[in-house]
Chain A
Amino acid sequence: MNIDRIKNTSKLDLVTARPDLRRDLHVFVAYVEEREVKRGHRDNALSKTDARRLAKLLSDRDAESEVQEDGNSTWVDSVDRFAQQLGLVHYDMEGIYVGYTSQAPSFPDNYIQVDANAYGKLSAMNLARQEKHLLEAMLEDNQGGGSEFFSTQVLGRLNGFSTWGSGTAVVPMLDFAAIRRFLLDLLARCPTGEWLSVASLVEYLKTDHRYFLIPKKPQLKNKWDKDNGRYGNFRESKHQWGHEIAIKETDADGFERVEGRYVERFLEGIPNLLGYVDVAYGGRNPKDLYPSLGVLKAFRVSERLHRALDGMIAEPTLRVTPSFDVYVQSELYPARLMRELPQFCDLVSEDTTSVFRLDRQKVAAAYAADPKLNVTAFLESLSTEPLPANVQRELSDWSAHSDKFVLYSGCSLLETDGQTAAVERFRVENIAKGIDLVRSPDRLFEELEKEQLAPLRIKHGDKSFSPLPAKTRSAFARKAAVKKKQREPKTKVTLMRIIRVQLLCPDREFLDRLQRLLVDANCTVESDRRNLSLAYSSQYETEVSRAIRALKNEYEVKIDDQ
């Protein structure tokens, strides 16, 4: 197979980085598992709140701004759809017509449910099988009008043919899954790590596999379709919504205009999404026809394609250093490890090689939650090298830490003289002679009453112990006595002191003028016109002095304090 190399890619727009679909599928399922995610009643879409939260968690950098602007994100919606397509989550897709005159279905209380069984099966597979499973599902999806011919791909830029009439003529006959497999096999035979010409690939297909997409003589059903020929479904135009130009089989460039366009869109579709190829776009000429042709200029096949098709994706490997760092190396997202390691490690960085750090408290908590857990054995089973001696020793110590604080829940405490037979049947643990942890306190109390032991039942407060009756023999008695001695907390009181000053004015005119000046200065005063007095709080002393000073041109003011 001879396909031209492209040596100078400086003028091309190279797409070599992409969001990680494999990771995001697991993140999406974990998100739905944690929360009750309800889909829109009318549009069956994710709510803006969920979309925003998911955008933050998923790996597409633009998702957050898309949600902010449009209320949804293409990538978030795609992950949601892939999860549903893989059977990892379920929700109603058909809806119900609520009223007699309903024009569209509604989706009341449409909660996303995680299929734990399907997800468990997927997680239990090794990475190679997981990859096959994902690839197969994607190859089988989007037939007919949903194929690359008519729709823009998740990470793609190229537009599609008009879907008008795509349910008739030749398109419904095409087996797109087989076509995609054929093209993937073809790509696998291409040299890896080199930029190859898309036009050259199309040329090769035209020469050697002219009918890889549309059969030479398709079994068309009616005369109209027969008259339109093999390319009857495909029409192009000079403008996006312009006059449609039919593509004839007899046209010299018919293959490039139909099959060539498909190849371009296929390359930017599944192979690009799964990281099997990188793609490079050229500029678009304003005079180009719609849908675009020849915009995707080059592609570069990755080694991953070979390994994925051959089922040779390597399992993740793990290496623990003496500084308690755990290095996880994996070609694809190691979902199982990424779920299990955070139980006893902190995530330091996430990439092809992810770095974790073993944490003492987390290890102890993991042992406390699952006494059968063996962190050392787990790490050793995945590690390429033996665990460092200091790590093994510390892990052993940390496991013992889980037993330092054991909390007994659902129990009551019974204090007896140590000779009560009824305790045996209700005992959870014997603390010491005459002190037992017991279950079913109601039934036990009845038994104790029947045995005529005159038991006392003390319901302690939520935040403090209740006092016990006098002469009670109990370890709690001393604490209750201590509590009695405690002094009542003093009530805190804040007194506000306001010092009021009263000015007695000589006449009503002076009072009015002074009051007016004070009101202008936003000073609160109480005036008593009958007694010719002004009363104000001492905090306004400055304002009052200023007001009196303002009157000094006309009055000689003297203040006589009493």
Chain B
Amino acid sequence: MKPLDMLSQMCRVVLADTDVKALCKARGLSPQATSSRGILETLFLSPQGVSNVFNSLDRNEVALLHLLKNYESPVGVAFFSRAYGGEHSYGTFNQRYQNVFAKVKKRLVRGGVLLWAEGRQNSWQKQSKMERWRFALPAEFHCHLPALIVSPRRFDGDGNWRPNVVRDKLIADLGCSRKNADDQIFQIEANELQLNGKRIEVAKLIKWQQSGWKKAVQGEKKSSPKDSDSKRPDEAALCILSELADGYWADAEQLTEPLRVFCGKKTESDAVCEAGWDWGLLAKRTTGGKTWYRLAPEQPQVAPHQYLTPNEQDGCVTADLSTIPLQAIEQLAAISDQRVVPARNGKLLLTPNFVKLGRADDKLLADEVVQWLVEHTQPFAEAYIALGERRGKTVLHENVLIARVSDLSLKVAIEKALGINVVSLKNDFVAFPRGLLDDVRRVVKKSGHVVKEVTAK
């Protein structure tokens, strides 16, 4: 359900006159909005009075709206039970959530900060009207939401964080004498550094960190959120801390209530944040007997010469795994072969791989790391020059159809019908996208010819 449809339905159908009056009063909308639903629809998304309403909400409600902000699709009334409580664990849906619904309507709908509309009936399961009610926070109001963390502290500096979690694991796994150990996730297969059997990528490395954090918080057991709208503690902590402005920090105690709302249950915020720091995703600092947290800063920029060393004898390059940025690991894996340097733990030997270079896109080839390798090592320079000479001369086109058209008028008709989507090749051959075959058939038939098909064996 799109927000504008919800707004239209809410203003024209769902809201009663009493609701409209209360809404206009809370938001301070002009009297015309009370008498005309069309005007209400226009004025609803204006910023007028939104901040006042938000400021009148309690912390739980604010946390709830911050959580709602993260969802693209509207939510049901059950979503609000984490803040308003009071639902029964027995009885019909209406009996269980009647009180919650009354509070949502009174506090948020009549406050004029929530969209409210009726969702479609499930074709496989009959639902009561209350089950079908859907609520959403308009994107226009997101910027007016009060801060999720009350009075965060400002400190200078990055604090204490672990930038080497991935690199330490990488060095440990590659230095491991026993291959395919249980906890080994990094390995070199066919001269390629891999994470869980696939080529290494930064996004996958971050996912690995997040899954480590998740396991540290909830152990090996499978996550079983109370409802689909709840978040895992690690996800919730990331969401909440990402709301902090630059330079601001929150202590674990301040996270307790938002975490409860985000997760739908009470959560040990200390343990969650500590695990996040342990996995290198959060930074912490201890001041005045309290531990303060925020998201870990970006990995610092490191110049290639600080982690790459050309070998004068064989022209290879050695990469230092203890300092190399994660982004550079991904880039190097995409253009070179990697080998572990014997008896030198934490070092990787890189040699150019022409096939991989050939597959690399222009953006990667123009990157600082690749250009440094080309400038400082002969094998990479030679491979790069050869690539420059050969690239773009051998092209394999797929998903195109080729036809030989030996009738000039037919050829002209096809070119006229397909416009720029037909390429004339030599000796009466033409190429066109596969999806336009029906159009071509139509032209051929219309001009009194037939299609003779030759299938490649």
Does B301 have its Cβ within 8 Å of any Cβ on chain A?
no
* B394 CB, nearest partner CB in chain A, Å: 4
Are the C-beta atoms of A405 and B433 separated by less than 8 Å? no
Residues from chain B with Cβ under 8 Å of A460 in the complex: 397-400, 433-434
Are the C-beta atoms of A409 and B421 separated by less than 8 Å? no
Does A545 have its Cβ within 8 Å of any Cβ on chain B?
no
Q: Once the chains are docked, how many angstroms separate the CA of A364 from the CA of B448?
A: 9
- Known A405-B405, A407-B454; contact A413-B393, beta-carbon cutoff 8 A: no
Residues from chain B with Cβ under 8 Å of A530 in the complex: 31
Q: Once the chains are docked, how many angstroms separate the CA of A447 from the CA of B399?
A: 20
Are the C-beta atoms of A409 and B396 separated by less than 8 Å? no
Does B190 have its Cβ within 8 Å of any Cβ on chain A?
no
Q: Once the chains are docked, how many angstroms separate the CA of A472 from the CA of B431?
A: 17
Does A133 have its Cβ within 8 Å of any Cβ on chain B?
no
* B292 CB, nearest partner CB in chain A, Å: 49
Do most interface residues of chain B lie in helix, strand or loop, or is the interface mixed? mixed
- Known A417-B394, A432-B426, A526-B35; contact A409-B454, beta-carbon cutoff 8 A: yes
The one of A368, A416, A459, A474 in contact with B452, judged by C-beta atoms closer than 8 angstroms, is A368
Are the C-beta atoms of A415 and B445 separated by less than 8 Å? no
Residue on A with the closest CB to B389? A454
**Which chain A residues numbered 407 to 452 have a C-beta less than 8 Å away from chain B?**
407-417, 420, 428, 431-432, 435, 437-439, 441, 444-445, 448-450, 452
Give the A-B contact count at a CB cut-off of 8 A: 213
Are the C-beta atoms of B452 and A462 separated by less than 8 Å? no
Are the C-beta atoms of A412 and B397 separated by less than 8 Å? yes
**Which chain A residues numbered 463 to 505 have a C-beta less than 8 Å away from chain B?**
463-465, 468-476, 479, 482-483, 486
- Chain B 405-442, CB within 8 Å of chain A: the 1/0 string? 11100100000000011011111010101111100000
Are the C-beta atoms of A407 and B403 separated by less than 8 Å? yes
Residues from chain B with Cβ under 8 Å of A486 in the complex: 420
Does A121 have its Cβ within 8 Å of any Cβ on chain B?
no
| Interface residue stretch chosen among A88-96, A289-297, A377-385, A396-404 | A396-404
Does B154 have its Cβ within 8 Å of any Cβ on chain A?
no
Residues from chain A with Cβ under 8 Å of B457 in the complex: 439
Q: Once the chains are docked, how many angstroms separate the CA of A435 from the CA of B426?
A: 9
Are the C-beta atoms of B398 and A441 separated by less than 8 Å? yes
Interface size on B, residues (CB 8 A): 57
Are the C-beta atoms of A406 and B436 separated by less than 8 Å? no
Residues from chain A with Cβ under 8 Å of B406 in the complex: 403-406
Q: Once the chains are docked, how many angstroms separate the CA of A455 from the CA of B358?
A: 7
Do most interface residues of chain A lie in helix, strand or loop, or is the interface mixed? mixed
Are the C-beta atoms of B357 and A454 separated by less than 8 Å? yes
Does A453 have its Cβ within 8 Å of any Cβ on chain B?
yes
Residues from chain A with Cβ under 8 Å of B421 in the complex: 463-465, 479
Are the C-beta atoms of B355 and A457 separated by less than 8 Å? no
20 extra A-B contacts, CB within 8 A, seeds A408-B403, A409-B401, A458-B395: A361-B449, A368-B450, A403-B406, A405-B452, A406-B404, A428-B456, A431-B402, A432-B425, A439-B456, A445-B396, A448-B396, A453-B393, A455-B358, A458-B396, A458-B398, A461-B433, A463-B436, A475-B431, A476-B397, A482-B420
**18 A–B contacts from the bound complex (CB under 8 Å):** A368-B453, A401-B450, A407-B402, A408-B455, A409-B454, A413-B400, A415-B395, A435-B429, A450-B355, A453-B394, A454-B358, A458-B397, A460-B433, A465-B421, A465-B433, A469-B391, A471-B391, A476-B395
Q: 6 nearest interchain CB pairs?
A: A462-B435, A368-B452, A454-B358, A432-B426, A472-B392, A365-B450
